[in-house]
Copies of this chain bind each other. A is one copy, B any other.
Amino acid sequence: MKFDAMVEVKLRPGIADPQGATIERALPALGFEEVSGVRVGKAFRFQIDAQDVGAAAEVIDEMCKRLLANPVIEDSLVIELNPIDG
């Protein structure tokens, strides 16, 4: 079974996010005073072959720990995991 997956990797709470802070400083000058607390993470999309959703989620979890995220400073989160063709 094939799945479409989207995984978010974001900085853990309390870890400084200079990229987010820079965006936030730019917002008022552009007229977006209503936006605050900007944090920037990564969004990975890929296809994965697995027996079922549970097996796919397990592989993704392992892949996040070993390749996509730095568990010391980052959290990973499966945002989408949908079967392709049914």
Contact = CB atoms under 8 A, between A and B. Distances in A.
B35 A46 contact: yes
A44 B24 CA distance: 11
Contacts of A79: 6, 79
B41 A43 contact: yes
A49 B66 CA distance: 37
Interface in A33-82: 34-50, 59, 62-63, 66-68, 79
B43 A37 contact: no
Contacts of A42: 40-43
Interface of A: 6, 8-10, 20, 23-24, 26-27, 30, 32, 34-50, 59, 62-63, 66-68, 79
